[in-house]
Amino acid sequence: MTFRIEGPRAAAIPLVLDSPHSGRRFPADFDAAVSEQELREGEDCFVDELYAGAAELGAPLLSAQWPRTYLDPNRHPGDVDLDLIEGPWPGEYRPSGKARFGKALVWRTLEDGRNIYSGKLKVEAIQKRIRRYHEPYHEAIQKLLNETHARFGRVYHINCHSMRSVAGRQSEDGGKARADFVLGDRDGTSCDPAFTERVRAALAGMGYDVKVNDPYKGVELVRAYSDPKKGRHSLQIEINKRLYMDEDTLEKSAGFAVLQKNLFNLLDAIKSSL
């Protein structure tokens, strides 16, 4: 299975969540030149578990099961890294600029700059990954959002992520310490700014340091399916990993249970406001 849906398949409230980067089932054809432990540096560890309470509140949670380093569902399928591909790319080419960091649709490098593969990948291999992983995930999130919108006349989509406590050297904010939470609504274009503010205020009221669109504004999954004027709202939430895990061992810390409870309370507050 390439993805999983926790909670109701038909949302009981106009809220849908997705976690595109918490998967760690490594496909047999990955053929990476580095270890699985090293490849997990791009993983949003345990994010799907942190939001497990969504099901109890009646909101479905879609989560990818494969590693982000294998293929990133939070990229447009045309956001290919031409330096990674053997020969010309025959499909749509829509670069986001992430390739310069080695972090386009299929990752080319780790955060320290090391190559993930010993050579280039064939075009057919990239296309196979898109068909087997990217397309089904996007079809699933579209189905959830469309059905929820049809039922309620509106839908609020929370795109769930986590981030390093200090930005890596290949990140756009390299070396900087990060806030507890970063909310991204693409500068107010992917959801009603009032919704972003409600989420910010709720988290700040719990004592968290919250920033908006700094340094993350939201990428493809927030951009592709949002249209606030038509009642389609998408908000990205980035959680600082230091709040709930050890970034060296990739294990949960004592803060996990506290954060999980607070996220349930956040979702409950969102539910009450919809």
Tokens 């700040």 — which residue? 204
CA 143/CA 43 separation, integer angstroms: 25
Buried b (16+ CB within 10 A) or exposed e, 14-31: bbbbbbbbbbbeebeebe
Q: Is the CB of residue 40 less than 8 Å from the CB of residue 111?
A: no
Q: Measuring CA to CA, which residue among 46, 122, 39 is closest to residue 84? A: 122
pLDDT at 260: 98
As its CATH architecture, domain 3-273 has: 3-Layer(aba) Sandwich (3.40)
pLDDT of residue 238: 98
> Which pLDDT band holds residue 199 (cuts at 50, 70, 90)?
very high
Cα angle vertex 273, ends 269, 274, to 5°?
120
**Inter-residue contact 45 to 162 (CB < 8 Å):** yes
Reduced to 3 states (helix: H, G, I; strand: E, B; else coil), residue 63 is strand
pLDDT tens-digit readout, 93-148: 999 999 999 999 999 999 999 999 999 999 999 999 999 999 999 999 999 999 99
How do residues 234-261 score in pLDDT, each as one tens digit? 999 999 999 999 999 999 999 999 999 9
Quote the tokens at residue 159. Answer: 């795109």
Q: How confident is the model at residue 170 (pLDDT cuts 50, 70, 90)?
A: low
Helical spans, DSSP H, in the chain: 36-39, 47-50, 123-129, 135-152, 193-205, 220-224, 255-273
Q: Where are the domains of the chain?
A: 3-273
Answer yes or no: are the C-beta atoms of 265 and 212 closer than 8 Å.
no
Residue 1 confidence (pLDDT): 82
Angle at alpha carbon of residue 251, lines to 214 and 48, rounded to 5°? 60
Comparing CA positions, the residue from 112, 268, 149 lying closest to residue 198 is 268
